[in-house]
Amino acid sequence: MRIAIVAAALPLALAACTLIPAPSSAPVPVPAPSPFPPPAQQGPELVWAALGQQAVVGTVAVTPLELLEDSRCPANVQCVWAGQVRNRAAIGLGSGAANRDLTSGKPEQVAGGALELVEVQPARTSEAAIAHGDYRFGFRYIGGL
């Protein structure tokens, strides 16, 4: 009796299967990858300056004078807060210069536009402190005169 049930079920089981063709030697075309999304921060290029070095960003001259804070999360550590960098910079507008404290990621209104400390190099690590002379600050200026 068991043989009869198995024999009756076998054609039904085979009917439910689909045949998979044997792989061919022809290569299967792979679609081209889609372009990467644009960077989050678009606009004018970054202009870099070291402490004491003047850089012209748009119509504004900026000279980082002093590192006030570097609380960035080290690159090899997972942090709750990413931290920030603050520096004191002389900002020149042609008619004179004024010292302002700039904080990374927080645009400062200058000459009808926005001056922003966008990036700081090198990245922090948990192994060693960064020498002040090694810091490079990336600034961007949008809008203005």
- The domains of the chain are located at 47-143
pLDDT more than 90, % of the chain: 46
The answer to whether the CB of 31 falls within 8 A of the CB of 115 is no
**CA neighbours within 13 Å on the CB side: how many for 136?**
7
Structure tokens at 47: 């202009």
Torsion over CA: 34, 35, 36, 39 (sign)? negative
Condensed to tens digits (0 to 9), the pLDDT of residues 15-34 reads: 444 444 455 555 545 444 44
Question: What pLDDT, on the 0 to 100 scale, is given for residue 121?
Answer: 93
3-state helix, strand, coil in the chain (%, to 5): 10, 35, 50
pLDDT < 50 regions, the chain: 6, 10, 12-21, 28, 30-42
